[in-house]
Amino acid sequence: MEGVDVQVLRQLSRWRGAGERAALVTVLTTYGSAPRPPGALLAIRADGLLAGSVSGGCVEAELIAQLQSHWPATPQVLRFGGTPAENQRLQLPCQGGLQLLLEPQPEPAWIDALLEQLDQRQPVLREVDSLSGQVRLLAGRDEPDFDWDGRLLSLVHGPRWRLILIGAGQLSRYLAQMAQALDYEIIVCDPREEYAGGWEVAGTQLSTAMPDDLLRARAPDARTAVIALTHDPKLDDLALLEALLSDAFYVGALGSVASNARRRARLSEMDLPAAAIARLHGPVGLAIGSRTPPEIAIAILAELTALRHGRRLAPVPEVSSPLSFPLAVQA
């Protein structure tokens, strides 16, 4: 499963490539409660067919009606909601509102060029002049992924978030299935025939290479998470030796506090720098009292989600009761 916004761009490419009239809508700002963040995408075909979303459906219906009444020739900055009367008319929640940029006829050439670079895991900065409609594609950068100054939209696309799982066991199955719903590309690595032979999770990639070979070939970047789940040091430690020296934004390993302490000691004996070992998340996931594989998968994805959104997680001590795990999250 691809990321939501990449799916929007691919559908838009197909429509425009076939000569269909279609518009691209980008969320610029939100006010109050809003279901989609700045940068979210929506494509609208002339007959009202949609790809993506900018709200729960109310704004989409209004956009379709406006476009079918009058299809503009130049980009439009539109605002919906923000007043009680407008919110009631559109059924927007909690006095919410949003500002949108509508590009009425995006050129297929830049859409396809953007998608080609995303397929190569290259971040792309798209700049749109809302007055002229001019679009520029530049190399992605480490600055904020989104900016709107009232005229120029700057939006970094991709690459897609990627999750590399070491081990094709039961927990990996739940984690892979849930992570796909969060738009992760999933790669599962397990050279053990008894595990790899039974892997049947649709939409994922399976590798039977040794974990260190796979990670050297895949070169984890800042949008990649690597999680070791086999409980076998011969496999997990190989993966961690590579992952902890990579640019991966998250490296984790399944196991108790005691087993992770032993793991850190082994990594130190293998001459892995202390700074690299300190990057290891172990035990993996948030301490929410998880017991079953699905619950552990939820805990792992919750931690990944928090880190992706720039949340600093306060340390959570181990406690004896499964019902008393406090979670402290700091903005």
- In angstroms, the CA 315 to CA 224 distance is 23
Q: Given this model, what pLDDT does residue 324 score?
A: 34
Cβ–Cβ < 8 Å for 7, 78: no
- Tens-of-pLDDT digits for all 331 residues of the chain? 467 888 999 999 999 999 999 999 999 998 876 678 899 999 999 999 999 999 877 899 999 999 999 999 999 999 987 655 555 555 565 556 899 999 999 999 999 999 999 988 888 999 999 999 999 999 877 556 899 999 999 999 888 899 999 999 999 999 999 999 888 999 999 999 999 999 999 999 999 999 999 999 999 999 999 999 999 999 999 999 999 999 999 999 999 999 999 999 999 999 999 999 999 999 999 988 888 999 999 999 999 999 988 887 654 444 433 333 333 333 3
Note the pLDDT of residue 48: 95
3 state SS for 134-183 = CEEEEECCCCCCEEECCCEEEEEECCCCEEEEECCCHHHHHHHHHHHHCC
Residue 15's pLDDT is 97
Name the 3-class secondary structure at 202. Answer: coil
User: How many C-beta atoms surround the C-beta of residue 108 within 10 A?
Assistant: 16
- Coil vs helix vs strand at 116: helix
Q: Where are the chain's structural domains?
A: 4-121, 162-330
Q: Which secondary-structure segment (H or E) carries 77?
A: strand 76-81
- 97, 88 in Cβ contact below 8 A? no
Residue 187: Cβ-neighbour burial (10 angstroms; 0-12, 13-18, 19+): buried
Nearest partner of 239 among 275, 266, 215, judged by Cα: 215
Q: Whole-angstrom Cα distance, residue 150 to residue 196? A: 52
Q: Tell me the β-bridge partners of 152.
A: 129
Which has the closest alpha carbon to 40: 57, 58, 52, 56?
52
Identify the pLDDT of residue 159: 80
Q: Compute the half-sphere exposure of residue 298: CA atoms within 13 Å on the CB side of its CA.
A: 9
CATH architecture of 162-330: 3-Layer(aba) Sandwich (3.40)
**What is the per-residue pLDDT for 77?**
96
